[in-house]
Amino acid sequence: MFLTAALTIGGAVLLGLAARSDEKNPFQVLGGLGLIGLAGFMHLTGPAPLLQSVGYAAAELGAGMLVVAGMLAGRKDEARNFFFIGAGAMAIGVALIVARSLFSPTVSLLVELGPDDTYEEIADVVAAHQGVAERAFPMVDMTESEDLAQVYLIRLPEKCREALRRILDMDTENVDNVELNSTFRLDLPESEELATSPLADVLENDPLVGSQWALDAIRGHEAHALLENETPVRKASIAIVDTGVDSRHEDMADIFESSPGSSDKHGHGTHCAGIAGAATNNGLGVASLNWEGRFVTIRSYSALGDNGMGTLESISEALIEAAEAGADVISMSLGGQTPITPKTIVDAVAYARKQGAVIIVAAGNSNVDASNNVPSNVEGVIAVGAVNERLDKAPFSNTTQRLSRPISAPGTNILSLKPTGGYVKLSGTSMATPMVSGLVGVMRSLNPELEADEIYDILKSTGRSTGASHSVGVMIDAEKAIQAAMNG
């Protein structure tokens, strides 16, 4: 583009010189038109899309005509003509360029370079396909992860994606991995509400606890009796990697810890946060396992936007940020089906586990085998399926028997927090996941030395067998799991 602009301006200067002379020099006129014509030819035959090429050509021609107008400042009539031609051409060019950027679909790739390679080695080929690059995870350096530190996010027109991907796939000398920056969308199912019989007398004074059938199912009231007079070794932090959390909600304000995602226009993250750790026995709203808010704090990292959508890069980045901040538990009620597990999320999970985090992920709501559901199929995470009020598999829940660390929890008609105040019932493995996360957070507050594998072994060995255990794993038993954690 710089060469074509130089040719156009150079041609305009020659035309300006000819226009200033009473005796027009034909060589200057022909030379000027030739340079401008060459620039236009280069635009139209270059790799850029036609609309973009015409836009840049018109803008450059407009700039050249304005140069001529300036050179003819002493001849007002001639200068005026060139000025209007230049301004019009430039306006048309800018309009075409803006239209191209607004209406042309763009995609992004995640490109991992080798540990000894630099972006400059692929910069030319990326630029030739209209790509714009940036480091995907600048918070990670080479000493922490050679893989994640070398990942670049490349944005480019959709029509250029496959061509660039093929070239980068063949560049095995510089490129270790190329994958699409896939998009994931929240998909919460609806479910029939089944009758339950809440306990008549409970320990908690939260006014809505009678509507929380899940606490009965996981023996949460018995767990509260254990925790009432227990002092944690330290508070554990649960990171909600989601749409954000309304940190000012009445049941969240006292236990929310400063973190990036402190607001939530969507609502999904706030709902999950309430299940994981809403302040309990505080005379407000709902209860979680976080007795009097003494055992866990909630942090929030926004992996999904206000529309409930996120990308492989945004989810991995939020996971990495939560791990670097020292989260004890990372709760991820998100994901989607993909035939090939992306290496980027595999590396991000491995990085977070290396930092000491226990990662708990929703199995998904498509009523299919979760072995193709990301990130619940990534090695090292605890994958959570959902049961309903009858402790059968929730109709929407993916099955998890082919995953290495399956567990289940209540996931239908779960009452929790709503942004800007209030409470709402939602269903999904999204709801079952923070219930497990809240339990694991309490376990780590009582025994911080517990490793992720030890925690899963406790959840599994103390879990309750249900009619759904063969398809989604045993259901958590909060009382027994907490007792096991306290006993070391």
Residues classed as catalytic: 242, 268, 430
According to DSSP, the β-strands at 106-113 and 151-157 are antiparallel
Angstrom distances, CA of residue 425 to CA of 177, 275, 387: 42, 11, 15
By the 8 A CB rule, do 99 and 51 touch?
yes
Edge-to-edge strand list for the sheet holding 329-332: 296-302, 236-242, 329-332, 358-362, 382-387, 406-410
Backbone CA torsion sign across 418, 300, 217, 368:
positive
**441 Cβ neighbours under 8 A, 6+ residues apart:** 236, 237, 238, 276, 277, 289, 290, 295, 296, 328, 329
Question: Which tokens in the block code for residue 165?
Answer: 């991907």
CA–CA separation, 351 vs 380, rounded Å?
Answer: 11
**3-class state of residue 374 by DSSP:** strand
Question: Which tokens in the block code for residue 137?
Answer: 């995870």
CA–CA separation, 400 vs 469, rounded Å?
Answer: 10
Q: Which residue has the tokens 């007002």?
A: 76
Give the length of the chain: 488
CA trace torsion 144, 149, 150, 152 (10° rounding):
160
Angstrom distances, CA of residue 281 to CA of 206, 251, 289, 293: 5, 10, 10, 8
Backbone CA torsion sign across 307, 313, 314, 315:
positive
By the 8 A CB rule, do 184 and 344 touch?
no
* DSSP strands (E only) in 136-205: 151-157, 175-180, 183-185
Angstrom distances, CA of residue 309 to CA of 68, 135, 369: 50, 21, 22
Question: Which tokens in the block code for residue 273?
Answer: 């946060």
